[in-house]
Amino acid sequence: VEKEVIQYLSELVSIPSLSSDISMKPEVIKVTELVKSKLIELEAEVKIVENEVDGKNPILLAKIGNNINKKTILFYSHMDVQPALKDDGWDTDPFILTPKDDGYLYGRGTNDDKGPIVATYFAIKKLLEKGDLPVNIAFLYEGEEESASGGFEETVSKHYDYFGKIDGVLVLDTSWFTDEKPSLDYGFRGISYNSIEITGPKKDQHSGLVGGIIREPMTDLVNIFSKLIDLEGRVLIDGFYDDVLPFTDKEAKLYENLEFSIDELRSNIGVTELISSDPKQIMLNMWRYPALSIHGIEGAFYGQGGKTVVPGTVKGKVSMRLVPNQDPDKIAALFKEYVEKEFFKLNSPNKLHVKNLGNGDWWYGDLNNFLFQAGKKSIIDYWGIEPDFARSGGSIPIIPFMEKIFNAPAMGLGVGQSSDGAHSQNERIRVKNLIGAIEVIKNTLTNCS
Amino acid sequence: VEKEVIQYLSELVSIPSLSSDISMKPEVIKVTELVKSKLIELEAEVKIVENEVDGKNPILLAKIGNNINKKTILFYSHMDVQPALKDDGWDTDPFILTPKDDGYLYGRGTNDDKGPIVATYFAIKKLLEKGDLPVNIAFLYEGEEESASGGFEETVSKHYDYFGKIDGVLVLDTSWFTDEKPSLDYGFRGISYNSIEITGPKKDQHSGLVGGIIREPMTDLVNIFSKLIDLEGRVLIDGFYDDVLPFTDKEAKLYENLEFSIDELRSNIGVTELISSDPKQIMLNMWRYPALSIHGIEGAFYGQGGKTVVPGTVKGKVSMRLVPNQDPDKIAALFKEYVEKEFFKLNSPNKLHVKNLGNGDWWYGDLNNFLFQAGKKSIIDYWGIEPDFARSGGSIPIIPFMEKIFNAPAMGLGVGQSSDGAHSQNERIRVKNLIGAIEVIKNTLTNCS
């Protein structure tokens, strides 16, 4: 099966299905059509629906089986990928699947999510070859995940009854928590992404002219930036931590069995040290405490070398990862209020405009439901070890959305490893993980029934 | 002559001679060849020499007349232009000269320096049509000014004896200080351009993974940025002001006759207020006091919308405008020392690398020499008013270099107006200024003799 797996993944990777670039829309359509044709080989009923948001990519809905005496399990993955250029520092062409001697397949999307899509396909194919499916299968594959799942909620809200009753949602869009042990995911952080726009001169200026005679927008922006978090990483926005749930003893137990190597994570990220040397603290900071990142500036000079431009308008980009029970809308409002307060202190003649660019809910799943029981058993059977029960610092706000609209619990089933570099250069997946995922998915469906 | 002036300028503007983009090198060559062919029409001896720095554009040297009993006046201008895209906010195609009813010609380079090159050409043409030239003329036209005059010093150092003795250098690369009054320039600020590189993760990361567990390089950089200047624009680098000359009473007199409208400058820049409401203070801040600008960040997110990237390495770009008697090399060293000191306080695991990207000398000319006397008389004769004697906040380090290598004084002769937008969108020049410049250049050469 390995050869066929590599063949299908290779076809998927060769299509640069970027959702971030409108000119690549035909590529996302192409990958959607390819996935459709493969599902039809499994005798699935497939429907591609237009995205309810203009310009956003269509969504693929499919189902196999309609036995009302069986559970129906829905698979979620995304077919779009992060941007990638060879020049960004890739060792190989990101859109040519390249197997290497290290047992990995390199290419954009191998881990996130083209590998998982391939594993799901072959798992179901194997079940079909054995005879009847233990459950009905549904597929909900989108093409906008890397662009904040644009239009997903609107579109699924319109078409969700295509599936009928759903009993569980399997999310295949995560990696193992470590490189050594499979994991099942039960939580994601939420997110609030905001911009701080500061406008001074009506046009970009030359520092030879305005240097020393105006308050430059960049000066104000870096001042605000410097007041968002302290050196320990604590967010300084008033009221930011008010709704973060207290850490309980019961919760603490969940972390006791996790084998987590701070050195491995440190080395994967490529830093000399993490913010703490206590593995438990690092896990908590990643999974169950919020954080703030400054991503960059739109409108400022970003090229190589030197340019003496004084930007007229700059937009600082800041996001916050949120946790139970922080409300993203409330946090965005607190952010705005705080930035406005700090800007006022600067007594600047420039204009400030704080804008929310998007919010997403956190997810916190129930480890006691049938999905996690089935997943755990399948992993133990195939890999011979208990999985890690993991949360993630990232955000997939459509998971809590799917739980609500389908009135069914969700579980994340990791396919690749933590060091695969899902959004980075040289993204990869281990062949062993793909083959293992096929078996685990197959058995999970059986154990669910 | 107006029609011919527009014709020549139109040809020059139509060639996008960007020095900042290596792929546009053929265009700079093309504009150099065009200028050469026009000078040959004036029976000049023209030589185009290779730039001594690899990849940099050639320099044009030319001369007309070799009467040893006459002075030799050298014209300096540059044939390259700043980048410009219609999408940047231009009302017209930047590379199609567009006359409008307001009496201006719009297009990239009209003010800086293609207009001045055209004015010089027609001034000399007129003198030749009248008979003998009052002085010998030399031309030194380069194609790298907008890229820090790369290779100019090396190349001119090799070829300067092509000209023989030079008595004065006329720099045609400035604008009037206001929109209403011609000006002669006697000073420029120097510059020191530096980058602050901070490296954390070996690759770009995803904020969902690293948010809260590493010290992000952006956090360190914005912290350093926020410590470079205070809200009054005062540079906080230790020792930065040590060598700035004290302001004397004699110097103060130079500012008394300047008619300078703070409102006009404010409106040209497009800000609601300048850093001071005192016109004299603004002039001093622009011309004779140093300043610091933060231009942007290389390596951070700069696109539209939201991207949850945590950049692995960021390079902050900062330049300082310098004045007599600050030494650019010494200032760059003080900058490095200060940034390293402030970074040390951050107690960060990230790596800091402060790098100097280039320095340039300030220039301070002598208002009593024959060039300024001749220029002043010519302006009074044509425009009927005394010129402003102006300095500039910008930097043309090759002026002090030319003064040294030719052992001759320099003078800046402004052609366009202050609101022409030399480095901005909708760059323009007034037809009236071009015609006036032709007469003023002609008479200045006569009055020099």
Inter-chain residue contact B211 with A292, CB threshold 8 Å: yes
Of the residues B145, B167, B185, B197, only one is catalytic, namely B145
**For residue A346, what pLDDT band results from cuts at 50, 70 and 90?**
very high
* Predicted local confidence at residue B154, as pLDDT: 97
* Sign of the dihedral defined by the CA atoms of residues B262, B265, B267, B269, in that order: negative
Closest chain B CA to residue A191: B208
* Predicted local confidence at residue A449, as pLDDT: 86
Task: Confirm if B443 and B382 have CB atoms less than 8 A apart.
Answer: yes
CA-CA distance, B322 to B189, in Å (whole number)? Answer: 5
Query: Among A120-129, B74-83, B131-140, B246-255, which is the least confidently predicted range?
Result: B246-255
* Predicted local confidence at residue B257, as pLDDT: 80
DSSP state of B104: E
* Sign of the dihedral defined by the CA atoms of residues A324, A326, A328, A332, in that order: negative
The whole-number average pLDDT for the span B47-61 is 97
**For residue B449, what pLDDT band results from cuts at 50, 70 and 90?**
confident
Q: Tokens 């951050």 appear where? A: B346
**For residue B156, what pLDDT band results from cuts at 50, 70 and 90?**
very high
Q: What percent of chain A has pLDDT over 90?
A: 90
CA-CA distance, B134 to A76, in Å (whole number)? Answer: 84
ipTM (interface predicted TM): 0.84
3-state secondary structure (DSSP) of residue A411: strand
Mutation pick from A213, A227, A310, A313 vs chain B, by most beta carbons of B within 10 Å, is A213
CA-CA distance, B333 to B318, in Å (whole number)? Answer: 14
* Sign of the dihedral defined by the CA atoms of residues A17, A19, A20, A26, in that order: positive
Q: What percent of chain A has pLDDT over 70?
A: 100
CA-CA distance, B121 to B263, in Å (whole number)? Answer: 35
Closest chain B CA to residue A200: B271
Task: Confirm if A144 and A55 have CB atoms less than 8 A apart.
Answer: no
Q: Closest CB to A208: pick one of B20, B357, B394.
A: B394
DSSP codes of every residue in B160-197:
GGGS----EEEE---B-SSSSS-EEEEEE-EEEEEEEE
The whole-number average pLDDT for the span A41-68 is 97
Cis peptide, bond prior to residue B111, ω within 30 of zero: no
* Predicted local confidence at residue B423, as pLDDT: 84
DSSP codes of every residue in A181-221:
S-EEEEEE-EEEEEEEEEE-SSS-EEHHHHTTTS--HHHHH
* Predicted local confidence at residue B418, as pLDDT: 86
pTM confidence score: 0.83
The whole-number average pLDDT for the span A371-388 is 97
- What mean pLDDT value characterizes chain A? 95
DSSP codes of every residue in A245-301:
PPPPHHHHHHHHT----HHHHHHHHT-S--S-S-HHHHHHHHHTS-EEEEEEEESSB
Q: Closest CB to B229: pick one of A219, A297, A317.
A: A219
Instruction: List the beta strands (DSSP E) in B20-126.
Output: 45-49, 59-64, 72-78, 98-99, 104-106
* Predicted local confidence at residue A268, as pLDDT: 84
Report the number of secondary-structure helices (H) and strands (E) in chain B. 13, 18
pLDDT by residue (tens digit) across B209-223?
A: 899 999 999 999 999
User: Taking Cα atoms as reference points, which of B122, B167, B123, B159 lies closest to residue B141?
Assistant: B159
Q: Is B145 a catalytic residue?
A: yes
Provide the shortest C-alpha distance from residue B64 to chain A (in Å).
34
- What mean pLDDT value characterizes chain B? 95
Q: Which two tokens stand for residue B284?
A: 């001093």
pLDDT by residue (tens digit) across A228-258?
A: 999 999 999 999 999 999 999 988 988 888 8
Residue A426 carries which side chain, given as an amino acid letter? N
Q: Would the pLDDT of A260 be above 90?
A: no
* Predicted local confidence at residue A259, as pLDDT: 77
Cis peptide, bond prior to residue B113, ω within 30 of zero: yes
Q: State the angle between helix axes of B2-13 and B25-41 in degrees (0 to 180), rounded to the nearest 10.
A: 150
* Predicted local confidence at residue B428, as pLDDT: 98
CA-CA distance, B224 to A212, in Å (whole number)? Answer: 19
* Predicted local confidence at residue A77, as pLDDT: 98
Of the residues B27, B80, B185, B220, only one is catalytic, namely B80
DSSP state of A54: T
Report the number of secondary-structure helices (H) and strands (E) in chain A. 13, 18
Q: Tokens 């005798």 appear where? A: A43
Inter-chain residue contact A285 with B213, CB threshold 8 Å: yes
Q: Closest CB to A215: pick one of B275, B300, B425.
A: B275
b vs e for B50-84, b when ≥16 Cβ sit within 10 Å of the residue's Cβ? Answer: ebbeeebbbbbbbbbbeeeebbbbbbbbbbbbbbb
Q: Closest CB to A294: pick one of B213, B222, B424.
A: B222
Q: Which two tokens stand for residue A238?
A: 């008033």
DSSP state of A235: B
Residue B61 carries which side chain, given as an amino acid letter? L
**How far, in Å, are B68, B167, B181, B445, B447 from residue B71 at the CA level?**
7, 6, 28, 9, 11
* Predicted local confidence at residue A265, as pLDDT: 87
Q: With beta carbons under 8 A apart, name residues in chain B contacting A357.
A: 305-306
DSSP state of B148: T
Provide the shortest C-alpha distance from residue B350 to chain A (in Å).
8
Inter-chain residue contact A293 with B218, CB threshold 8 Å: yes
b vs e for B6-42, b when ≥16 Cβ sit within 10 Å of the residue's Cβ? Answer: bebbbbbbbbbbbbbeeebbebbbbbbebbbebbeeb
Size of interface A-B (CB pairs under 8 A): 280
User: Taking Cα atoms as reference points, which of A439, A440, A387, A433 lies closest to residue A112?
Assistant: A433
CA-CA distance, B416 to A21, in Å (whole number)? Answer: 42
Q: Which two tokens stand for residue A111?
A: 């881990």
Secondary structure (H, E, C), A156-171: HHHHHHHCCCCCEEEE
